[in-house]
Every structure is written in structure tokens, then in C-alpha cells.
Chains A and B, each alone.
Chain A
Amino acid sequence: MEPQERHYNIDKLNVLFAVSSLGLLAVLGWMVADDYSRSWKDVQKKFRTLEIEKTRVKFDTTENLLEQTPEYQELVAELEQARSEYAANCAPKESVKAEVKNLTAQNGLLVQEQKFISAKLDASRYLYENALKNNARDADSRRAEFNALSQKLDELDLAVAQSNQALDEKTKGVEVCGARLKELERQEHNFSNKAQILHRKLVNIDPDKMSFTSRIADMVRDLPILDLANPKYKINQIVLKDITEDVNFMTVPKVDRCITCHLGIDNPDFEHADQPFTTHPDLNNFLGRESPHPMEEFGCSVCHGGRGRGTDFNSAAHTPSSPEQAKAWEEKYHWHQLHHWEKPMLPIQYTEASCFKCHSGQTEVKKADKLNLGLHVIEKAGCYNCHEIEKFKGWPKPGPDLTKVASKISKNWAYRWISDPHGFRLDTWMPSFFFQSNTSDPQSRARNEQEIHAIAEYLFKKSQEYDKSAPPMAGDPVRGEELVASVGCLACHQTSPLAASQMVTADSLRREHGPNLTGVGTKISEKWIYNWLKDPKRYHPATRMPNLRLIDQEAADIAAFLGTLKNEDFNATPIPDVSETVMDEIVFNFLAKSKTNAQAEEALGAMNLEEKLLFAGEKLIRHYGCFSCHDISGFESDKPIGTAMTEEGDKSTHRLDFGFVNIEHMNYAWFTQKLKDPRIFDQGRVKAHDEKLRMPNFHFTDEEIEAVVTALLGFVRDVPEAKVVPRDARNIDIESGQKLVRQMNCKGCHILEGEGGSIRPSVAEWLIKYDNRSDTEAQAIVNSFSPPNLVGEGKKVQAQWLFEFIHAPETIRPWLKVRMPTYNFASEQLNILLKYFSALDGQDFPFEEKVDVSLTEQEYKAAQALFSPEYFDCVKCHIVGNKLPDGSPENWAPNFALAKRRLKPDWIVEWIKNPQNLLPGTKMPNYFDPQAFEASGPDDILNGDEHEQIRVLRNFLLTLSEQPPLAERNAEPQPAAASSSAEENPQLTPIEGLN
């Protein structure tokens, strides 16, 4: 066979080779193009255009503004003139110019040689030293070399100095002559600084303003491969070393590349730009360099969720906030859910969930209203009683004690209430357990009816004795109504139904801290109410209802009034009879769980109807978990029946049973649906009665659901430890205090941390109805008649006094109708409150600096003078001992006699100096001008030294006192301490120093 013979046709192979090589080239090109084209680049291009546009506009307006400023115009004219003057007089002559040029050239040469010789000298020094060390033979020649170079360098230094001097002399004249021009130029520069910064920016980004070379560079730097150096369009990222992502076998720093597209996020100029360039809302709180959450330290995805490393719309795991948005995104971005990312972005309406990660200890998180509302609703609805939630560990049960229920309500009322609580009171937190979507078929309804009978039977059978004494006198409902309106009941209770349309807010929740009293007369007797009001803790030892120290007549009046609030319709709803057949079925089902059928039949046969009811009642209370929210005899040690929720936000979607309900498969959608109708996921399922879902229906509104879902999404395990609110003593004190403040509804009356005082509208109503004030007047003076704003309380009052006061309140503001109730706090709770107030104001606790309050004779006189009507006229408003001021009560101010025990000396100083600073809007006048403090006091007292004036005035106030001393007072029983006139406070005596 000939060697040149080929098996294949080589020409054809060559063609095939050429074609496939071209194919390879083409796919390589395709690969580079595919790699080069990134969606974020288009976004950045768009942003650049927008930025150029915005900068141009900004530049133009600044320039226009400059041109319209006459000072600037003058300056420019002057500058123009100075320039021509300079050209005429100072500009150097041609001969001088040539000379300078020559000199400069010579100077350059000399400096260069100096540098060279200096380098040589260093090298020669090394050689010389080395030779010395090794005793080398050439040491001498090295030394000679070194010395010669040394000498040469000295000569050169001299020559350079001379040359510099010569050059200076030649140019000096010009410089002096041009000094004025330079100064003017500097002024002009300062004037147009802003415009110039903008101009520089424009030159950088705007191709029209660029130099030719820049424009070329601008084009070239983004070409494929060349873009490795310094491209215009590049991925921006924030690397967060102290926030890590758990990738199961290791943790990696969080990297957020969101700012690759969200380019205007921290730039207030882009507030109205379209997404993705829109500025983040509220830069003062988020992202801003000065904000508590700077972008460089917090990034984006720690709050928003999503895939921080993603650089296109889908890989960032964006989540739409509504089906409409999802649709729009699908069209615009081909959006789809990123299934494999476990923490997709939170839909925008739930973003506040993330606040909880770091602020979980706080009762209310500033700026996170929705989260706050959600937590508040969880707390009111008592979710944590069935579902363990770490945050609410140890919170009280929200429902009333049922261990003495028979003395309070009738069995029929109980039946009606359990079967439909919302029928009695629209806004009750008691949820509906029965006749729900999975128990609405006739068979289930019949069974539900009997279940309620059994539960009611159990509660009443197990009910304990409660002695009710009849009111010693008849009550007057009219007086009762006035009392309810005035003493402070309305801080926690309402007596009329809330409008169904009313949005639930923190304020409305505070105003309904206790049950709405609509129809309460139908539910309970006046006698019971009387006994309850006199001592709530006798009926329910753990109740949060405080004692308002009502005298018998007041209690009887209020009871009489509440007895008139009826809801007859509710009492008219029919109650089905007890059906033994259905009851048998229920009892049998429970029996059969632990017995064989035959044993169960036998046990059932041995029971009479009453026993069956009692047996079923106990089992049903356990089944439905009634004991979670109510104290019920026999269930003292039962455990919560629901799923633990502490990490519910982390629960992966596939562990939620969506059943046959066609909703989006996302946890928030499931939560929402569950809260809307807790039994919905039974839809289409075939289940035995006792297997059915049993979570009750709270009839939440859509806002409440959204808020609760927000909170649930915040219950996660994975929190950025480094960013959590520090667990130091101060924060813990504040958080414990906030918890107690919430539980006792302090904010129902008082303003704390800038929020609360929800009783104010009720006080205004009282003013209008019972104090004959006009609408506007009532609004104007409502603050004077409302419980005080407690801002700065820790700074203001002495800890010991506050302890005594909360323990047993005394009258500070006799003109107030509203009473500070007696809560019977345990000392532990009192300490929490005290620490809370101290921590809020950064005070030392429990001991504070001693202050010397002694006065010399002269100082005492000066203080008296300041106190007198000639100067500050303090007694015009302030009560002193039992001496009330003239004028109407809305202008009265607290009793000075309390100052010594109550107020902190340092606070008094600050208060007198600038009361508005401590309590904005206070009626206390500013006697010293905070703007010009040193000149604002009276000049004729203490040589016009304002600091001294305030000090003596403070010391003077602290000498005013009352009798008898504290200890004795507390030993006495408290007769209606809050009554309105000072005559009833005989313990206050005229004070020394005034008369």
C-alpha cells in the first residue's frame, strides 16, 4: 500500500476542520459575550444617564444662582480687572522670562546631580563600613572614596541653595505684584466651590464635558477583558465581617451586592427616582453614615433577607409584595421564585420583622410600628399561652380566673359566651372555638353544642366559693357614670362599643387594655361588680386590675352605673338542650383513647348524665387548651398545647401543611391564611372530629394579621450576634421596665418614652361633659387635667420617693380627677420600675450624689426675693403646703412641700434653667433665656449671677417642708388620698420661711 494513500479524503477533512474551528471561534466569542453581558450593567448604564442628567441640572441651577448673586458678580468684575492689571504691570518681561527659564534648567540639572551623588555616597558608606568591619585591605581606598563623595555632596548642596536663591529673587517681584489677584481668585473659588465640585463630577462622568483622552479612556475601560482593571461598570459590594452566613459546615462573612443596582439608595437626590434607584426611606435611621444602622456596617440582606450575593433580579431572591407585583415582575424581569434560597427577601410589608432580630428584648421598637402592633396583638390575644414564644416567657395569662366563675356569671351566659364571644362583645380577645369552618356541618354543630355544655358544666361544678357582700348603700348610676369618666377607668376600659371600622393601633389597644364594658350589666351583677371594685385581687389574685381606692359610695355608684349597661339581644339567643346521645358519643371517643371498646362501653354505662358532662368537660378543656389563658381548677400543671413559635419564622415552607388550599407556597401566605381562618387547612380533608384542627378564630382584621405575620417572621434563630442590642445592665433594666409598663398599661395614662397618655381624649370628654368646658378649651387644657408626662422621671424624682409613691400613691396634683391607682406591686416589680426610670435617664441607682442645700442669711433673702411676686412669683401656680394658688385649677402646679422628699436637687436646677428642655410644652415659664442665659436673670440679685440665683432658689425650695415626717404618714390608713381639695389633706402644714 502506498504511504500517501489516505483512508479519509483529506480535502474534506480540511473543510470539516475549518468549519469546526470557525464554530469553536464563534462559541468562544459567544461565551465572552455571554459572560460580558450582565443585567446589572444595563442598570448601571441607566443610572449613569440619570446621574449625568441630575448633575447637569444641579450644576446649572447652582451656576444660575451664582450669576444671580450680586456679590459674586462684583467679585467676577473685580477679578477681571485685577487680571488685566496683572497683565499690564506685573507680568515679567521677555528678557527676565528667558533668564528664569535658563536658571530653572540649571537648577534642575544641579538637583539631579545632587540626588545621584547622594545615592552614591550611601552605597560607598556601606562599602566603607563593610571594609572596616572585615579589616579589609582596601579600607583606606574606601575611606578616600567616601570622603571625596561627601565633599562633593556638600559642594552640590551649596550650589543648589544658591541656585534656588537666584531663582527666588527673579520671581519674587512677580509674586508680590500678583498677590491681590491670587487673593481674589481664592475668594472666587470659595464662592463657586459647590458649582466647581459639580463641574468636576460632570467632567468625570459626562462624555460631553470630558477631554478627548478621557473620552477614549471612558470607552476603552469597559471593553471585555480590559475591564479587569478599572471599569466604570462594576459590581459594588459591602462585606460584613461581623455578620456571617451559616452555610452549615462553616460560616462566611455576609456579602451584599445589592448596591450594584440600587445605586441611589443612600443618596437623598434620588428620592423620586424609579426603582432600583430610589433612595431608602428615612436615611436618618437607616443607611445614613450618622444613623444607628449605617450601610457599611449593616448591609442590606440582614434586614431585608434575600441573596445578598445575587447580581441579577432573580438571583437576588426578590419577593413581590402582592400577586399584582408578582405579575408585573414576571413580565418585566421574568421573575420566578428562587426555590433553593432558604431566606428569600421579605415582602416589603413584612420588612419590620427583621427589627426583631436585634431588638427582641424591647417591648416597643422605635420606628417599627407594624412589628410593635404585631407583638402587641400577640400579647393581647395571648398566642404565647398555647404557642411557646421565648419573648413572652412568664407573661401573665390574658383571660380571667375561672376558679370562682359560678359566683360571677350564670351558666347560660357562659354557654352563650363560649359559643359566640363576638356576639356579646365585638372586640373581645376571647376567640371562637366552635362552629368554625371545619365544624359547621350539622353533625359537628350538634357535637359542638354538647361540647360547650360539658365545658360549662365542668367550670361551674369546680367553681369555688366567693363571698360577696352587698353594697352598704344604694348606688346612683348618674354619679357612677361621672366617676367612671373621671377617676381613670377609661384608661383601660371603654363603656361603649368601638366602631367596627376603627383601625387597631397601639393607642386603641391601650385604651382597651381591660375588657370593653359594653353590656357588662347583662353579664354580671351589681353586687359582684361592687365587690370586685373594692378589691379586685380578692377574686382574682393575679389580676392586673389595680385598686382605685374607691370609698363604698363610689364603688356602689359605679356598680350601679355598670349595671345599666345591658345587652339583652345576647341573652335572648337560644340554648339547645343537653343531648345524652351526642354526649355519649363524645364521652365514648375520649374513653376509647385509653380503653378497649368494650371497657369504654362499660365505663360509659356506669356514668350518669352529670358525670358524663363533667368527664367530657375536663377532657374538652384539655383538648381545646382553655386552661392556657384561664386559671381553671384541675389544670394547674398542664402544658401549652400549641406548636412552639420561638423560631417560627425559620420554619421551612415544606413543613407547613398547605392541605388543599390553593395559596402561594410561602410561609407568610400560610400564616396569613391560618390567622384569617385557623381551620382552613382542614378544607377537603377527611378527619375524625377529634383530629380536626382546633386553633380558635380570633376574628383578626387584615391589619392585625399583617402585623402578627410580621412579628412571626421575626421569630428566627439566626440573628446577627454582633448587632444585637447589647445585653448590658442598662438595656436589661429598660427592657424589664418596658415589659412591666406594658403589662400594667402605664402608658394608658402616662406618656413614657414619648408615647402613651391614651386617656387624654377621655379626659377631654369629661371636661366637656362635666366641667362645662367648650370643645376648644377642653383640648387646650386637657394636658393639665391628665396624668403627668413621665419623661425624665428618673432624673426628676428621688428613687426612695418613687418607691413609696408607687407603693402607696399620694396626692401631688390635687386638681386632677384621675387617680393614680394602687397596684400592690411586689417589691421586685417596684425595683424593676425604679431601675427602669433611672436607666432611661442614665441616673445612678439606687444612691445619688448628696447636695449641700444650706443657705447663708444673705442667700436666703435673695432666694425669698426671687420666690416673691416681685420676681418669679412661684406661688402664683404652685401649691405650697395647704395653700392653694389663686386662679383656676388648670394653671396649678405641684406642691412645693413635696420637693424635699420628691425631687432631685440637680433636676431642680436644670428645670429652673430651662423647663422646656426637660418637658417640652410645660406650663412652667422660662425665667432664664436659654439663648442668652448669662444676661437673662435679674441683675439686682446676687450680682446678677444666674447660676447662683438658681442654686439659692433650689436650696430655698428644699427647705420648704411638710409635717409629719414620712414614716408616720405611711403608717396611717389612706383616706381617699386622691380627693380633690387640699382641705382634706390635713397633714400639710404651713411652711416656714414664707410667713
Chain B
Amino acid sequence: MTLETIKEFVNIIFAPEIILPLILLVFFVIFPPTDRLYKLNKMLRIDKLWTKEGGIAIFAILIVFFLFGLTDPNFKLIVTKPDNVPIVGLIFLVVFFLWFAMKQAVENDQRIGEGKKPAEDADSKEKVLVWPDLVYIEFIALILCTVLLIAWSILLKAPLEEPANPAVSPNPSKAPWYFLGLQEMLVYFDPWIAGVLFPTIIIIGMMAIPYLDHNEKGRGYFSFNERKMAISVFMFFWLVLWVFLIMVGTFLRGPNWNFFGPFEFWDVNKLEALTNVNLSEIVYMIWLKQQLPANILLRELPGFLVIIGYFGLMPLILAKTLFKRLFDQLGSLRYSIFTILLLMAVSLPIKMLLRWAFNIKYIVAIPEFFFNI
């Protein structure tokens, strides 16, 4: 296998219609929300990742990937851009802290399994003084951060570009890194959803967390087993819907907002066939071989049914099946709020999948009233 074939293979893996399902599959095995998946996780010995050896292996793979990648001019160009260097740092930091937290959680799970108290239990008995134990190390950390920032600013010059010109927008035009997730959402949803509804729901949802989660366990110490659902849901938001989309926006979205593999040249002239269709067109034109109905409501009936089914029936079905225990624990009100929020969050990857795999543009498409879902 030559280097080029490896690169091509990686490029193929990173194609959106493959990487997204892949991540979804792997994610729920690594962070299993339910007991059954937890068993699978244990069976596959995935919790070995959260040991010292596992950590070394994760970092070794990351480092090897980057070192290998840097031999490629296209990869190097994107990764070493002064704007993108912090995002590379972000990958390593996120992975490190993820591993660090999970390691302690897994260790505690083991202790609890053995009937012992979690490791943090001992800490709670110890008292330390603000000075010097807290302030001193904070001060040292502050100095070290200053050293790092100064050295960084000397070595990597601030990336200045041409004066902003309303008539000429850069290609690709990218939002600041922390907004790349929102920008990515705009590809799949209309601005009123991606730019207004979702951000609002995110804030409301976060405010709701303390009221929804009344699990007494796992407070003050790391534990996975005791809070599988909570951690899995959080990690899904954080890692998939936030960090992953930042990575996509930074490294994989190129000119014209086209998708590029990590080793692909960012060709301004690359063209992708945009042949997206609405659900109504699939139903009427492809399946039923009919003309689209003139009546808007009739035309969008399948879409409305899907939406109603998704938000109306799904919570009920889930309450009877997958979330049966959860429903019992939370009660109907908490359960409804929780599932609606969750379904909304999950709708993003679902819509992404539908777009990438089936070219679906809108579930409900009423451009006449600027109402598209």
C-alpha cells in the first residue's frame, strides 16, 4: 500500500456520507447511553481506552496521523495556517481532557463495582489553604500561560488579510471557529431554524438540565456507569455537534463551502453536483410517479406527517421501548421535555445524514412562505 493509497483511503473515509454514520456508530459504542450498549462496550473492551496505555495509544495514533499528514502539502497547508493551529491544539486538548476524565470515571466505576468508595472520597476529607496551595499554583500556571502566549505570538505572526471589502467576500467565508458549528447547520436548515430556533433551544435546554436530571449519583466524583445517559447525551452535544462540526468547518470545508478530504487540494474550481430534492418530490414524483399536487398542504403532507410522527409519536414509542426506564424515573412532564429536546438535537445529524446519503433538501418545503424544515 503506497502513501497515496493511504491518503486516498483517508479522503474517502472523511467524505461526509461516510464519516458521519461512522462517527454515530462508534460514538454510541464508546459512550453507551443504555445498558445494552454498555454491555457491548464492555465486551469490546473499549474501556481499555481510558487507561494509561489506552491514552498513550490514542495520542500515539493522533501524533502519527499528524506527522504523516504533514508530509502532504495540502494537509500541511491547511493545518499550519496560523488561524488553524489553535484548532489543532484544540484536538489534542479535548482528547486529553476527555481521556483524563474518563480514566477517573472508569476507575471509580471499578471501585464502586468492588463496593469501595470513589477515589474522590478521600479528597473530600482533606482541607487545603487558599495560600499557598491554590493561589501559588494558579500564579505559576498564569506565568506559564503567559510564556506560552508570548512565544506563540513571536513564532506565528497574526494572520492579517486584505481590508474588508463588502463587494468581495473571501472564498471560503468562514465564521469564527466557535461559530463554525452554527455555520455548518446553515447548510442543512434555513436560517430561521439554524440561526434562531436552535440556538434558543440550546440555551433553554441547558437551563433545563438541572431540573431534568435528578440522578443523585455521580455528584462530586467521576463516574460513567452511574450517569450513562447524561454523559452520553452531553458528549453527543459536545463532541459530535460542537467539536466535530468545528473540525469539519476548519479542515474539511474549502472553497465554495465544498467538502474536501484532509489530503485533497482545495481546488476553487471543484464542482459538486447539487441535485438535492425535497421529500415531497421523492414521494410524489419518484415513488408515486405523479405530478406534484398544486395544493401546498397536500403537497407537503408527507413532510408534515414525518414531522408530526417524529415529534408526536416518537416520544410515545420511545417511552414504551428504549426509554421505558427513563420514563418511569422522570415522570411524564420531565420525560416529554427531555425527549423533545433530545429529538431536536438528534434531528441535526439525521438531517445531515439524509442530505449526504439521500440528497434530501427539505422535509417540508414551502418556499412560498419561506417555511422550510
Q: Which residues of A contact B (CB under 8 A)?
A: 1, 3, 6-8, 10, 13, 16-17, 20-21, 23-24, 27-28, 30-31, 34, 247-249, 340-342, 652, 654
CB distance from A84 to the nearest CB of B (A): 67
B6 in contact (CB, < 8 A): no
- A248 near B163 with CB under 8 A, answer yes
A10, A13, A23, A342: the one contacting B144 at CB < 8 Å is A23
User: Roughly how many angstroms separate A28 CA and B139 CA in the complex, as a whole number?
Assistant: 17
Provide the residues of chain B in CB contact with A10, threshold 8 Å. Answer: 132, 136
Interface string of B112-152 (1 = CB under 8 A from A): 00000000000000111100110011011001101100110
Closest residue on chain A to residue B170 by CB atoms: A340
- B144 near A17 with CB under 8 A, answer no
- A16 near B140 with CB under 8 A, answer yes
B132, B137, B150, B162: the one contacting A28 at CB < 8 Å is B150
CB distance from B333 to the nearest CB of A (A): 45
B127, B162, B165: the one contacting A341 at CB < 8 Å is B162
- A27 near B128 with CB under 8 A, answer no
- A24 near B139 with CB under 8 A, answer no
A28, A30, A340: the one contacting B161 at CB < 8 Å is A340
B207 in contact (CB, < 8 A): no
- B132 near A13 with CB under 8 A, answer yes
Provide the residues of chain A in CB contact with B146, threshold 8 Å. Answer: 24, 27
- A23 near B168 with CB under 8 A, answer no
- A24 near B147 with CB under 8 A, answer yes
User: Roughly how many angstroms separate A336 CA and B154 CA in the complex, as a whole number?
Assistant: 20
- B127 near A1 with CB under 8 A, answer yes
Assuming A17-B139, A24-B143, A340-B160, is B133 touching A6 (CB within 8 A)? yes
| Given A6-B133, A27-B146, A248-B166, 6 further pairs, Cβ under 8 A | A3-B129, A13-B137, A20-B147, A24-B150, A27-B150, A341-B162
Closest residue on chain B to residue A338 by CB atoms: B162
Provide the residues of chain A in CB contact with B136, threshold 8 Å. Answer: 8, 10, 13, 17
Closest residue on chain A to residue B134 by CB atoms: A7
Tell me how many residues of B have a C-beta within 8 Å of chain A.
27
Provide the residues of chain A in CB contact with B133, threshold 8 Å. Answer: 6-8
A8, A20, A652, A654: the one contacting B268 at CB < 8 Å is A654
CB distance from B337 to the nearest CB of A (A): 42
B164 in contact (CB, < 8 A): yes
Provide the residues of chain A in CB contact with B126, threshold 8 Å. Answer: 1, 7
Interface string of B161-180 (1 = CB under 8 A from A): 11111101001000000000
Provide the residues of chain B in CB contact with A340, threshold 8 Å. Answer: 160-162
CB distance from B219 to the nearest CB of A (A): 23
Interface string of B255-273 (1 = CB under 8 A from A): 0000000000000100000
- B147 near A23 with CB under 8 A, answer yes
Closest residue on chain A to residue B162 by CB atoms: A340
Provide the residues of chain A in CB contact with B165, threshold 8 Å. Answer: 248
- B128 near A7 with CB under 8 A, answer yes
User: Roughly how many angstroms separate A28 CA and B163 CA in the complex, as a whole number?
Assistant: 31
- B162 near A342 with CB under 8 A, answer yes
Provide the residues of chain A in CB contact with B139, threshold 8 Å. Answer: 17
A16, A27, A654: the one contacting B147 at CB < 8 Å is A27
User: Roughly how many angstroms separate A8 CA and B131 CA in the complex, as a whole number?
Assistant: 11
User: Roughly how many angstroms separate A7 CA and B127 CA in the complex, as a whole number?
Assistant: 9
A1, A13, A28, A247: the one contacting B140 at CB < 8 Å is A13
Closest residue on chain A to residue B146 by CB atoms: A24
- A30 near B154 with CB under 8 A, answer yes
Provide the residues of chain B in CB contact with A24, threshold 8 Å. Answer: 143, 146-147, 150
- B143 near A20 with CB under 8 A, answer yes
User: Roughly how many angstroms separate A16 CA and B164 CA in the complex, as a whole number?
Assistant: 45
Provide the residues of chain B in CB contact with A6, threshold 8 Å. Answer: 128-129, 132-133
User: Roughly how many angstroms separate A652 CA and B171 CA in the complex, as a whole number?
Assistant: 13
Closest residue on chain A to residue B133 by CB atoms: A7
- B166 near A20 with CB under 8 A, answer no
B137, B143, B160, B171: the one contacting A23 at CB < 8 Å is B143
Provide the residues of chain B in CB contact with A1, threshold 8 Å. Answer: 126-127
User: Roughly how many angstroms separate A473 CA and B162 CA in the complex, as a whole number?
Assistant: 75
Closest residue on chain A to residue B152 by CB atoms: A27
User: Roughly how many angstroms separate A878 CA and B200 CA in the complex, as a whole number?
Assistant: 100
A7, A16, A247, A654: the one contacting B163 at CB < 8 Å is A247
User: Roughly how many angstroms separate A247 CA and B140 CA in the complex, as a whole number?
Assistant: 43
CB distance from A829 to the nearest CB of B (A): 41
A-B contact pairs, 24 of them (CB 8 A): A6-B129, A6-B132, A7-B126, A7-B133, A13-B136, A16-B140, A17-B136, A17-B140, A17-B143, A23-B144, A24-B143, A24-B146, A24-B150, A27-B146, A27-B147, A27-B150, A31-B150, A247-B163, A248-B163, A248-B165, A340-B160, A342-B162, A652-B168, A654-B268
Provide the residues of chain A in CB contact with B168, threshold 8 Å. Answer: 652
CB distance from A854 to the nearest CB of B (A): 71
Q: Report, nearest first, the 10 A-B pairs whose CB atoms are least far apart.
A: A247-B163, A7-B128, A340-B162, A7-B133, A27-B150, A340-B161, A20-B143, A248-B165, A23-B147, A34-B154
CB distance from A735 to the nearest CB of B (A): 32
User: Roughly how many angstroms separate A30 CA and B146 CA in the complex, as a whole number?
Assistant: 13
- A21 near B143 with CB under 8 A, answer yes
CB distance from B211 to the nearest CB of A (A): 36
User: Roughly how many angstroms separate A341 CA and B161 CA in the complex, as a whole number?
Assistant: 8
Closest residue on chain A to residue B128 by CB atoms: A7
- B144 near A249 with CB under 8 A, answer no
User: Roughly how many angstroms separate A20 CA and B129 CA in the complex, as a whole number?
Assistant: 23
CB distance from B127 to the nearest CB of A (A): 6
CB distance from B135 to the nearest CB of A (A): 11
Closest residue on chain B to residue A17 by CB atoms: B140
Closest residue on chain B to residue A31 by CB atoms: B150
Query: Most A CB atoms within 10 A — which of B126, B129, B163, B171?
Result: B163
User: Roughly how many angstroms separate A220 CA and B146 CA in the complex, as a whole number?
Assistant: 30
Provide the residues of chain B in CB contact with A654, threshold 8 Å. Answer: 171, 268
Closest residue on chain A to residue B125 by CB atoms: A1
CB distance from B132 to the nearest CB of A (A): 6
Provide the residues of chain A in CB contact with B268, threshold 8 Å. Answer: 654
- B164 near A248 with CB under 8 A, answer yes
User: Roughly how many angstroms separate A21 CA and B171 CA in the complex, as a whole number?
Assistant: 44
Provide the residues of chain A in CB contact with B147, threshold 8 Å. Answer: 20, 23-24, 27
- A249 near B140 with CB under 8 A, answer no
CB distance from B125 to the nearest CB of A (A): 9
CB distance from A29 to the nearest CB of B (A): 10
User: Roughly how many angstroms separate A6 CA and B133 CA in the complex, as a whole number?
Assistant: 7
- B132 near A20 with CB under 8 A, answer no
Closest residue on chain B to residue A26 by CB atoms: B147
User: Roughly how many angstroms separate A650 CA and B154 CA in the complex, as a whole number?
Assistant: 35
User: Roughly how many angstroms separate A652 CA and B161 CA in the complex, as a whole number?
Assistant: 15
Assuming A6-B132, A8-B133, A248-B164, is B154 touching A20 (CB within 8 A)? no
Closest residue on chain A to residue B149 by CB atoms: A27
Closest residue on chain B to residue A33 by CB atoms: B154
Closest residue on chain B to residue A250 by CB atoms: B163
CB distance from B327 to the nearest CB of A (A): 45
User: Roughly how many angstroms separate A24 CA and B148 CA in the complex, as a whole number?
Assistant: 9
Provide the residues of chain A in CB contact with B166, threshold 8 Å. Answer: 248
Assuming A23-B143, A24-B143, is B154 touching A31 (CB within 8 A)? yes
Query: Most B CB atoms within 10 A — which of A20, A21, A24, A30?
Result: A20
Query: Most A CB atoms within 10 A — which of B133, B137, B144, B147?
Result: B147
- B151 near A30 with CB under 8 A, answer yes
Closest residue on chain A to residue B129 by CB atoms: A3
Provide the residues of chain B in CB contact with A17, threshold 8 Å. Answer: 136, 139-140, 143
User: Roughly how many angstroms separate A3 CA and B133 CA in the complex, as a whole number?
Assistant: 12
Provide the residues of chain B in CB contact with A247, threshold 8 Å. Answer: 163
Provide the residues of chain A in CB contact with B144, threshold 8 Å. Answer: 20, 23
User: Roughly how many angstroms separate A7 CA and B135 CA in the complex, as a whole number?
Assistant: 12
User: Roughly how many angstroms separate A17 CA and B147 CA in the complex, as a whole number?
Assistant: 13
CB within 8 Å of A: which of B266-315?
Answer: 268
User: Roughly how many angstroms separate A342 CA and B167 CA in the complex, as a whole number?
Assistant: 13
Provide the residues of chain A in CB contact with B128, threshold 8 Å. Answer: 6-7
Provide the residues of chain A in CB contact with B154, threshold 8 Å. Answer: 27, 30-31, 34
Provide the residues of chain B in CB contact with A3, threshold 8 Å. Answer: 129
